[in-house]
Amino acid sequence: MSPYIFMERNGIHVIDLHKTVVKAEEAAAAMKQIAKSGKKILFVSTKKQAKSSLETLAGEVNMPFVTERWPGGMLTNFATIRKAVRKMSSIDKMMTTTTYTVFSKRERLQMTRQKDKMQKVIGSIADMTRLPAAVFVVDVRKEHIAVAESRKLGIPVFAMVDTNSDPKPIDFVIPANDDATKSIDLIVGLMCDAIKEGLSERKAGKEKAAEKTAEAPTAEKAAEAPVVEAKVEEVTEEVAPVVEEKVEEDTPVKEEKTEEADNSENKEEKGE
């Protein structure tokens, strides 16, 4: 952590805040792009100082988080975790139906305890149907298992790294105090704000695409209208001379018929 340390005073290392700002902005920009692509970011912190703020801020942007205990193999053995999530959801559904009353009181109590235990550990990742695109960690030393699993699967790691931690396994290092509640709130809030911007841009892009698709048929109809008018004019120009010729041919016949009718009337009058 020596590149990020400003000075040492009475055995306490002071972090260079200028570098903290630069690294935090880089991490926020990367978070924004990940959120814009529609992928999930997993927030991890089992420290008491970070639990409440992490749950609140990550929940606002609808991102999964782990604040109770990191279940071993959560990323490397993700299929088993998904089975546990499906079991938890099946128990939830069963409790809302009449089949739940068939079980004895002891069995219902065991099922409730099992569901509560699973809800506490994996309830916050129930909506995570696939591996996350990135992992954000508070306190690298405490969450070393999460970092190791992410590195093994090639998932980029964003982390608040204190002066007593090793930044080498971290892809996006944010040098900061990971023990102070205000520091954690500030960094996590900055990351969540970047995620919000990415999600809003994604939503705006979808709305624009929908408008374009809606405007495309009307534009095609507008382009076809002059072509149809031109075709109608061509047909009328072709048909008009033919109609005139037929009219001219029919008029002498009508005149002859009228003359014959007059002659026949005159003959009838003379005969009378």
Reply yes or no on whether the pLDDT at 255 is more than 80.
Answer: no
Task: Decide if 134 contacts 156 (C-beta within 8 A).
Answer: yes
Provide the H-helix boundaries in the chain: 17-36, 48-60, 78-95, 105-122, 144-153, 181-271
Alpha carbons 221 and 260: distance in angstroms, whole number: 56
Task: Decide if 49 contacts 184 (C-beta within 8 A).
Answer: yes
Q: What is the DSSP annotation of 127-183? A: T--S--SEEEEE-TTTTHHHHHHHHHHT--EEEEE-TTS--TT-SEEEE--SS-HHH
Alpha carbons 193 and 34: distance in angstroms, whole number: 13
- Both tokens of residue 207? 């709305």
pLDDT single digits (tens) 173-202: 999 998 889 999 999 999 999 999 999 999
pLDDT of residue 241: 59
pLDDT single digits (tens) 208-228: 888 888 876 665 566 665 655
pLDDT of residue 243: 46
Alpha carbons 100 and 136: distance in angstroms, whole number: 39
Q: Quick check: helix, strand or coil at residue 8?
A: strand
Average pLDDT of every residue of the chain: 82
Task: Decide if 54 contacts 188 (C-beta within 8 A).
Answer: yes
Question: 10 Å Cβ neighbour count for 10?
Answer: 4
User: Tokens 């975790």 sit at which residue?
Assistant: 81
Alpha carbons 152 and 154: distance in angstroms, whole number: 6
Q: What percentage of the chain exceeds 90 in pLDDT?
A: 40
